[in-house]
Amino acid sequence: MLVRAYVGMIGTGAVERVFWYDFKDDGLKRDYNEANFGIVRHETFNCAPKPAYVAYAVMSRVLTGSRFARREELGPGAVGYRFERPDGSAVLVAWAPEEPCAVTVPGGARGVTDLMGNPVEAEEAEGGLRLALTGDPIYVEVAAGRG
The model's pLDDT over 85-134, given as tens digits with 9 standing for 90+, comes to 999 999 999 999 999 999 998 777 888 999 999 999 888 888 788 999 99
The residue out of 31, 61, 91 marking a domain boundary is 61
24-54 CB burial, b ≥16 within 10 A, e <16: ebeeeeeeeeeebebbbbbeeeebeebebbe
Instruction: Please tell me the total count of domains within the chain.
Output: 2
Domain that holds residue 19: 2-61
Which of 37, 61, 85 is the last residue in one of the domains?
61
pLDDT of residue 21: 87
Residues 44, 88, single domain; the answer is no
Q: What is the pLDDT of residue 132?
A: 93
User: Do 12 and 53 belong together in one domain?
Assistant: yes
Distance CA 94, CA 106 (A): 13
Residues 127 and 74 both lie in one domain: yes
CATH number for the domain spanning 134: value is: 2.60.40.1180
* Residue 110 pLDDT: 80
Strand pairing of 101-106 and 128-133? antiparallel
Q: Are residues 103 and 42 in the same domain?
A: no
- What is the per-residue pLDDT for 147? 55
What are the tens digits of pLDDT across the range 31-77?
998 899 999 999 999 999 999 999 999 999 999 999 999 999 899 99
Asked whether residue 50 falls in the same domain as residue 75, the answer is: no
